[in-house]
Amino acid sequence: MNEGRYILFDQYLQGEMTVEERKSFEKQLVENPEFASAFETFKTVNLHLETKFGYEKEREEFKENLTQISNTHFNKKKNKTKAVSLKPWYYAIAASVAVLIGLFFFNYDSNPTFEDFNHPEQASFTERGDTNITLKQAEIAFNARKYKEAIPLFEETLKIIKTPEVQYFYGVALVQENEFHKAETVFNELKMGTSVYKDKALWNLALSKLKQKDYTSCKETLETISQDYEGYDDVQELLNELD
């Protein structure tokens, strides 16, 4: 679960962040569409909760439920029957848990998110003797997560050096920048080949579908990945979450 992320959302909305923390948070909102979408969902949930629990009696019942969840989540002593006075941080944790498991009156989307599985590997083209300057620049930009900057550099390189390795990292960068059609064209070409990037391409094709919330296509793609793939544990985990 993403308790940490929901705590950040709550701290931002409550004005509890430092100036630097707030700038960093707002930068993520701009650069990470999945993060921004989750934040919008969190704000909507908060609004629903404020509306639903507008009456004092209902607020107290909700508080009592949160207390019970918090006690369970943090392994409180079973014999502790006296009312617990929780700090705001504990309420943020308890509320996020409640939201995620759908305990309180709402039917939340339980599907996995792209952010949970988005862990691009580092590119390394420098060991090869034929590496040109543009490809080196693409590598540096990619590893710094400056994908928008890396994309045209990869495109320039592919005019001269079209290898599965370069194509693969180009496709990954495209997914990060939501250029799904281009990315999927690249990955579909790689999956038809026999290079070591075949299953990696399939995995990232599945992630592209996940980011677009096309869960059916994501699952179908995952089911075509060989169990010999080095990252098959992630494949299995995502399949389980999609079921």
Distance in angstroms (rounded) separating the CA atoms of residues 106 and 101: 10
Using an 8 Å Cβ cutoff, are 172 and 204 in contact? Answer: yes
Check residue 33 and give its pLDDT.
87
When pLDDT is cut at 50, 70 and 90, the band that residue 183 belongs to is very high
Name the DSSP letter for residue 120: P
Check residue 185 and give its pLDDT.
97
Check residue 49 and give its pLDDT.
59
Check residue 82 and give its pLDDT.
44
Read off the tokens for 23. 């700038």
Distance in angstroms (rounded) separating the CA atoms of residues 32 and 25: 10
When pLDDT is cut at 50, 70 and 90, the band that residue 109 belongs to is low
Of residues 207 and 34, more confidently modeled: 207
Of residues 118 and 105, more confidently modeled: 118
When pLDDT is cut at 50, 70 and 90, the band that residue 64 belongs to is low
Backbone angles phi, psi at 31, to 5 degrees: -90, -20
Residue 235 class from Cβ within 10 Å (0-12 exposed, 13-18 middle, 19+ buried)? Answer: buried
Q: What is the CATH number of domain 115-242?
A: 1.25.40.10
Distance in angstroms (rounded) separating the CA atoms of residues 12 and 24: 11
Domain boundaries, the chain: 3-110, 115-242
Backbone angles phi, psi at 108, to 5 degrees: -80, 155
Distance in angstroms (rounded) separating the CA atoms of residues 214 and 125: 33
Distance in angstroms (rounded) separating the CA atoms of residues 201 and 184: 9
Q: List Cβ neighbours of 8 (8 Å cut-off, separation of 6 or more).
A: 25
Helix, strand and coil in the chain, % to nearest 5? 65, 0, 35
Distance in angstroms (rounded) separating the CA atoms of residues 193 and 200: 12
